[in-house]
Amino acid sequence: MLLQYAITEQHVPISSSKPIILSKLVTEPSHSILTQSYDSRLRLDTRRPVNGDGFGIGWYTEPILGPDPCIFTSTLPAWNCVNLERLAPKTHSRLIFAHVRATTEGSLAENNCHPFQHETLMWMHNGNIGAWKYVKRPLASSLDDKWYLSVRGGTDSEWAFALFLHILANEEKVDPSSTPEGGFGAKVLRRAMKKTIARINELIRTSIPSTLTLQDVETRSLLNFAVTDGHSVIVTRYVSSKTDAAASLYYSSGTDWVEGPTKGHFQMERRDKASDVVLVASEPLTFERHNWLAVPTNTIVTISDQTVFVQPIKDEFYDADPSVERSTGYAKEKGLMSKAPGGAVSGTSVVPTPARTPLPRTLSAVEQQQSMMEFKQRMASLESTMNAAPNTNGSTLTPTQALRI
């Protein structure tokens, strides 16, 4: 399984029934997560177009090497890391987490690079915790010493992971440091994830000083979380608002992830209804619309036994009316909203039934025209800006190299 996920960053989880070479997901696709780190062309807000504050990749190895994942992080921009280019073609795994970072909380340090890990568990986050400067201390104080002391960096994302571990231990009654055969189970991880989100919302409500009102503080949280125990993967697309859309999230599933006749142009192959390969991404890895399905706002995605289940998170921010449109303004301001290939925005609250394989949709004539206009505008902008984008050798990329078309 491959998961790509973002915080003003991009992240990706990937799951597969057979090992996939890391480079086929991270470096080789024309819109890979490495390319997105300097050319996030589907992002709707271009004020922070570069995710250059480090990156991280986590993957599970053969059982003989142990059940815990291997983690590789760096504060270098992903596009400028020679070691990534060297390792990726020689590494394969059935379950991969990848993340590129544009810092929001915490300094530029390897301890702040995702994915975070505890024994067999990996965690990534794209977004922010609302009212963080007021929430951080009460959140930390609520944790057992073991989880409080496990935090090494300064990001709200890692503190959220510590809260998840605390809930897993105290409310789900499982030891996060154990290594049960077959993992902790998708249901346990999903319950702990929902409780983590609920606890964050509760802390925001109760931690604002009495001298302030909720209107004085930005309390909205963007909580696109991803967690795995090496067997099941849980991903959320969530915002603590009834009117806003969460940071974008997409998934693709099929029987194989293959490169087409044109170098760098990968696609999800579907020979039957099986989901042998599942990719989740904050921004699609390809430009083929039929390859990707938008995850609705305020839903939780469960990937277990190569099957994808999409379910709503029913709390105070849930809207049972599937026709209600949500505003993408807040996520766009954070640089966390991207459009699907073809120009559509994943910003509505429509909740589909659980599905194994995304279904294609034909664009209307108006959508096609709008998509072409947006594409031409982005291309004109990239022609003038990409001359300054560095390549892995530190030199300057030409527009053609930068676009990797």
Strand order in the sheet with 121-128: 116-118, 121-128, 222-228, 233-237, 299-304, 307-312
CA distance 141 to 164: 14
Domains and CATH numbers, the chain: 2-129+211-361 (3.60.20.10)
* Tens of each residue's pLDDT in the chain, 405 residues: 444 332 234 455 656 667 889 888 888 887 776 666 666 555 544 545 555 467 889 999 998 999 999 999 887 776 777 888 899 899 999 999 998 755 555 566 678 888 999 999 999 998 899 999 999 999 999 999 999 999 999 899 999 999 999 999 999 999 999 999 999 999 999 999 999 999 999 999 999 888 887 678 899 999 999 999 999 999 999 999 999 999 889 999 988 888 888 888 888 888 877 778 999 988 888 777 788 899 999 999 999 987 899 999 999 999 888 778 888 877 777 666 665 555 555 444 333 323 333 333 334 444 445 545 554 555 455 455 444 444 444 444 433 333 333
For helices 132-141 and 156-170, what crossing angle results, to 10°? 30
CA distance 231 to 69: 11
Cα-based angle 207, 212, 216 (whole degrees, multiple of 5): 105
